[in-house]
Structure 1
């Protein structure tokens, strides 16, 4: 079965950190983006093997990703439930 997970990458001073959105325990770092991608794929394979060995359920791979815009300079008070300034 082919499963696709969502990777997010954060630029660090010394390279990149990669993490799976749906499975946050799968996380790694690399010197550059290509190395980080390869290491994240290896970390995913290793985590799948570990979960299978332990009889644990493998997390779902169907995340909904969206960006939520916010005008940072306009935020001054906590928003009331459901209310957007």
Structure 2
């Protein structure tokens, strides 16, 4: 499961980490387009946080 920190309503999941990352990239592109259409400021952060669930 993956979630965008800047847009916490964007949550996706994939069968693999790579698939989840790709789906988040697509969701990010869509959010940027939507923000531009609505003339909203696009949140930009220089930090990157990636949480990965480790099953024990």
TM-score strictly above 0.5: yes
TM value normalised by structure 1:
0.49
- Greater share of strand residues, 1 or 2? 1
**Alignment RMSD (CA, Å):** 1.9
* Unaligned ranges ≥5, structure 1: 1-16, 66-85
* Unaligned ranges ≥5, structure 2: 50-56
- Alignment: residue pair count: 49
Deviation at residue 63 of structure 1 after TM alignment: 4.1
- Greater share of helix residues, 1 or 2? 2
- 4+ residue segments displaced more than 2 Å: 62-65
Tell me whether 32-41 or 54-63 shows the greater mean CA deviation: 54-63
TM value normalised by structure 2:
0.69
**Pair 1:53-2:50 in alignment:** no
Which is higher, the Rg of structure 1 or of structure 2? 1
Kindly indicate whether structure 1 or structure 2 has the higher relative contact order, using CA contacts under 8 Å at least 6 residues apart: 2
